Amino acid sequence: MTIDANTPHVETVLVTGGRGFIGSHLVSLLCEQGYRVVSVDIANGNLSAHPRSIQLDADIRDVRKMEEVFSQYDFSCVFDLASYTEVGLTMDEYQCNVDQTHAMVRLVRNYSTPKYIFYSTQFVHRVKGQAPKNEVDYKPTECYGASKVISEKYIRENLPEEQWLILRPSYIWGPGLERFRDGLLYRLAKKQFLITSDKKFKRYYGYVETIAAQTIAFSKMPFSALPHKVYYISDASLSMNTFCSHLAAALGVGGAWYAPSFVIQCLGLAGEIMGKVSLPRPINSMQARELTTNFPIPIQRTIEATGCSTDYSLAARKMIEWACQDEDFCQKIGAKAI
């Protein structure tokens, strides 16, 4: 859709990765709040039909194309969500993430964009039972997290502090996330989902609409006045039992089984062996680790700063309503499609 770039009194922002799961929700909420949103992506995904949304097909590493975009629109803020998030790859395969950050930082700097918000990841620091000691306490355990560490460092080195803010999402869920529907939600509906019986285990889930609201709330704040340059975005921690109970109640069927953490970890190791011989595996070692290990993050300061949190009962109902629009999913769990 074409909108005059010079229309007065309309704040214009750029969202990279705007057709992705989080990006599409962010674009929608920005449009609802009155922003004109230029969404740039190369993926086929969720195309916003909102009249304030401008959808562009472009690789943000394409210097000429992106310079045309920045020349046409006077952006008040860039939300940089574009990222290759497939897990288990090599550093060479994640190099595109670093290259994209370099390209966007140069554009933001050269065109004097007032605000740049970069989406990093919680995986830049992964230590059992320990929150990061500070904003540059980097301890990634795999290459995806390591690629984001490189990007964070580049931003710090090449933009003035008042211009940028780094956000680190936790586990984000909500309508539109097919792997959540076909994974956790399906297994929960079929009573095939296993959670730890350790009552001390907590996990950080972020409902996607809340994450979008937190992101926009931060964008409205003067970055120079914020006490931190890095914020995690998520809801407060909760037990897997509580999380699954909300979803099971909305489903009207299903539930979870409980097992000691060491049993789940053993299943993860077994899954790795099964995967090597091309057998279907119920769980891999990384999933087992994430489902049994506490990785605390400093989320309270985000909730206090933005005032955004989730009504889990309502969020679960929205998730199920979306999931049940898929006939195959409904057929698999024995529910009626909406």
Residue 6: per-residue pLDDT: 52
Residue 319 lies in a domain: yes
The yes-or-no verdict on residue 8 having pLDDT over 90 is no
Mean per-residue pLDDT, 110-123: 98
Confidence of residue 275 (pLDDT cuts 50, 70, 90): confident
Summary count for the chain: helices (H), strands (E): 13, 11
Confidence of residue 3 (pLDDT cuts 50, 70, 90): very low
Residue 337 lies in a domain: no
Cβ pair 321, 338 in contact under 8 A:
yes
Please tell me whether residues 91 and 182 are part of one structural domain.
no
DSSP state of 225: G
Residue 88: per-residue pLDDT: 83
Alpha helices in the chain (DSSP H): 21-32, 63-72, 95-110, 143-158, 178-180, 186-189, 208-219, 240-251, 261-276, 285-290, 300-306, 312-323, 327-333
Residue 160 lies in a domain: yes
The yes-or-no verdict on residue 227 having pLDDT over 60 is yes
CA distance 181 to 198: 25
Residue 46: phi, psi to the nearest 5?
-85, 100
The yes-or-no verdict on residue 177 having pLDDT over 60 is yes
Cβ pair 78, 104 in contact under 8 A:
yes
Domain assignment of residue 25, given as a range: 12-173+205-233
Amino acid identity, position 291: L
The pair of structure tokens assigned to 239 is: 């037990």
Lowest-pLDDT range, 17-21, 126-130, 245-249, 285-289?
285-289
The yes-or-no verdict on residue 5 having pLDDT over 70 is no
Please tell me whether residues 267 and 196 are part of one structural domain.
yes
CB atoms within 10 A of CB 120: 23
Cβ burial of 215 (10 Å; 0-12, 13-18, 19+) is buried
Confidence of residue 105 (pLDDT cuts 50, 70, 90): very high
Residue 85 lies in a domain: yes
Note the maximum CA span of the chain: 61
Residue 132: per-residue pLDDT: 97
Counting the structural domains of the chain, the total is 2
Cα of 112 vs its chain's centroid, Å: 27
Lowest-pLDDT range, 79-83, 86-90, 124-128?
86-90
Rounded to 10 degrees, the C-alpha dihedral 23/26/30/35 comes to -20
Please tell me whether residues 169 and 69 are part of one structural domain.
yes
Q: How far apart are the first and last CA of the chain?
A: 30
Confidence of residue 55 (pLDDT cuts 50, 70, 90): very high
pLDDT in tens, 206-217: 999 999 999 999
Cβ pair 194, 267 in contact under 8 A:
yes
Cβ burial of 213 (10 Å; 0-12, 13-18, 19+) is buried
Please tell me whether residues 284 and 249 are part of one structural domain.
yes
Cβ pair 199, 292 in contact under 8 A:
no
pLDDT in tens, 24-46: 999 999 999 999 999 999 977 66
Cα angle, residue 24 at apex, residues 213 and 306 outer, rounded to 5°: 10
Please tell me whether residues 269 and 158 are part of one structural domain.
no
CA distance 229 to 225: 10
CA distance 330 to 334: 6
Residue 282: per-residue pLDDT: 75
Residue 112: per-residue pLDDT: 97
Please tell me whether residues 74 and 142 are part of one structural domain.
yes
Helix H or strand E segment including 23:
helix 21-32
The pair of structure tokens assigned to 286 is: 């990384």
Cβ pair 263, 200 in contact under 8 A:
no
Please tell me whether residues 152 and 258 are part of one structural domain.
no
Q: What is the CATH number of the domain that holds 110?
A: 3.40.50.720
Residue 290 lies in a domain: yes
Residue 10: per-residue pLDDT: 81
pLDDT in tens, 288-305: 999 999 999 999 999 999
Please tell me whether residues 34 and 151 are part of one structural domain.
yes
Residue 81 lies in a domain: yes
Q: Which of 217, 233, 249 corresponds to the end of one domain?
A: 233
CA distance 273 to 296: 29
Please tell me whether residues 211 and 196 are part of one structural domain.
no
Mean per-residue pLDDT over the chain, rounded: 93
Look at the block and give the residue holding tokens 């290759």. 84
Cβ burial of 77 (10 Å; 0-12, 13-18, 19+) is buried
Cβ pair 41, 16 in contact under 8 A:
yes
Please tell me whether residues 38 and 156 are part of one structural domain.
yes
Higher-confidence position of 310 and 5: 310
Residue 266 lies in a domain: yes
> Which 3 state secondary structure label does DSSP give 39?
strand
Please tell me whether residues 103 and 151 are part of one structural domain.
yes
Rounded to 10 degrees, the C-alpha dihedral 35/41/45/46 comes to 0
Please tell me whether residues 209 and 269 are part of one structural domain.
no
Look at the block and give the residue holding tokens 């940089």. 80
Residue 317 lies in a domain: yes
